[in-house]
């Protein structure tokens, strides 16, 4: 595995050098932007935060909780994952399937980071988010799109094969959520916006991203991916994005949007 990792590092460096020749707009990383810009903004939305799918790796820290006076509810399908979270982060945990969960409309803010791709019923998850938010509350969502080439391959390859390849090329991903099964159901910009609308949520912000690291580990694959992405954009437009961020708001009844 050491040779494979070293080979991947050389190819990643070469791919990144080629990538720097492209416009900055297609090189901005969605995950980093969410962590550094959107998620910190979410901390300021109010004291009641629901972390959806954070499991053992919740977004808020003890320092964040103290600074913003947060009460954090962790909702994850796995009670075992929730139990592995750092002590004191979650004030309450809910082991439940987000697709069928019905909330109490008590959340000032929902943070859902790289979770929607892992649920088998995306529209169901959006319904749940709408029931969790209080009127005036906001949901901060980050997810990869089903139309990204890596997502399409992820759906085709057997689970065991995917994990071996992923963790051999990117050992650090073994520490995150990348090894969990992915479905990408309802997980494109167009579908997210449709699900939000039918559940009474308003799109306040949207940012689309055109980069992911998966194909950079082999330069020929990286070049083919960039070519595929360009062709996909011609046919799909915004739906060709690799990843996306949405900020959704639940309107207050009687107030204009």
Q: Is residue 22 part of a domain?
A: yes
DSSP code string of 100-135:
T----S-EEEEEEES-GGG-S-HHHHHHHHHHHEEE
87: left (phi over 0), alpha (psi -120 to 50) or beta: beta
pLDDT of residue 161: 61
Q: Is residue 254 part of a domain?
A: no
Q: Is residue 185 part of a domain?
A: yes
Report, in angstroms and rounded to the nearest whole number, the Rg of the chain calculated over CA atoms: 19
Domain encompassing residue 190: 2-249
Burial of 180 (0-12, 13-18, 19+ CB in 10 A): middle
Q: What pLDDT, in 10s, does the model give residues 97-147?
A: 999 999 999 999 999 999 999 999 999 999 999 999 999 999 999 999 999
- Is residue 75 within 8 Å of residue 101, measured between CB atoms? yes
pLDDT of residue 173: 52
CB atoms within 10 A of CB 106: 13
Q: What pLDDT, in 10s, does the model give residues 160-218?
A: 665 665 556 555 554 455 557 899 999 999 999 999 999 999 999 999 999 988 899 89
When pLDDT is averaged across residues 149-160 and rounded to a whole number, the result is 82
pLDDT of residue 55: 96
pLDDT of residue 175: 45
Instruction: Pull the structure tokens for residue 118.
Output: 């892992």
Count of domains for the chain:
1
- 60: Cβ contacts below 8 Å, ≥ 6 apart: 43, 49, 51, 70, 72, 89, 111
- Residue 8 above 90 pLDDT? no
Q: Is residue 171 part of a domain?
A: yes
pLDDT of residue 100: 97
pLDDT of residue 44: 97
- Rounded to 5 degrees, φ, ψ at 140 are -110, 115
- 230: Cβ contacts below 8 Å, ≥ 6 apart: none
- Residue 234 above 90 pLDDT? yes
Q: Is residue 95 part of a domain?
A: yes
First to last CA, the chain: 54
pLDDT of residue 166: 58
Tokens 């997502």 belong to residue? 151
pLDDT of residue 5: 77
pLDDT of residue 226: 96
CA distance 238 to 232: 10
Mean pLDDT across the chain, nearest whole number? Answer: 91
CA distance 255 to 218: 52
Q: Strand 133-144 and strand 243-249: pairing?
A: antiparallel
pTM above 0.85, yes or no: yes
CA distance 194 to 199: 9
Instruction: Name the percent of the chain lying above pLDDT 70.
Output: 90
Q: Is residue 257 part of a domain?
A: no
Q: Is residue 37 part of a domain?
A: yes
Q: Is residue 58 part of a domain?
A: yes
Q: CATH no. for residue 237?
A: 3.40.50.150
- Is residue 155 within 8 Å of residue 184, measured between CB atoms? yes
Candidates 190, 144, 141; CA nearest to 41 is: 141
pLDDT of residue 112: 98
Which is it for the CA torsion 212, 218, 223, 227, positive or negative?
Answer: negative
């Amino acid at each position: 595995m050491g040779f494979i990792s070293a080979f991947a590092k050389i190819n990643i460096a070469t791919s990144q050098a080629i990538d720097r020749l492209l416009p900055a707009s297609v090189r901005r990383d969605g995950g980093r932007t969410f962590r550094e810009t959107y998620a910190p903004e979410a901390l300021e939305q109010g004291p009641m935060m629901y972390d959806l799918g954070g499991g053992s790796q919740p977004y808020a820290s003890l320092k964040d909780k103290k600074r913003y006076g947060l009460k954090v509810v962790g909702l994850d399908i796995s009670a075992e994952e929730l139990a592995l979270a750092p002590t004191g982060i979650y004030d309450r945990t809910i082991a439940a399937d987000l697709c069928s969960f019905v909330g109490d409309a008590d959340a000032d803010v929902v943070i859902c980071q790289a979770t929607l791709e892992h649920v088998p019923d995306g529209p169901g998850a959006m319904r749940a988010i709408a029931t969790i938010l209080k009127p005036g509350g906001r949901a901060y969502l980050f997810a990869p799109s089903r139309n990204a080439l890596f997502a399409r391959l992820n759906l085709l390859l057997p689970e065991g094969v995917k994990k071996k390849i992923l963790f051999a090329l990117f050992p650090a991903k073994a520490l995150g959520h990348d090894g969990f099964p992915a479905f990408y159901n309802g997980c494109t910009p167009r579908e997210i916006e449709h699900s939000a609308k039918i559940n009474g949520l308003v799109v306040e912000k949207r940012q689309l991203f055109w980069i992911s690291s998966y194909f950079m580990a082999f330069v020929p694959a990286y070049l083919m991916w960039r070519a595929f992405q360009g062709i996909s954009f011609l046919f799909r437009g915004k739906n060709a994005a690799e990843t996306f961020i949405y900020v959704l708001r639940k309107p207050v009844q009687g107030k204009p949007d």
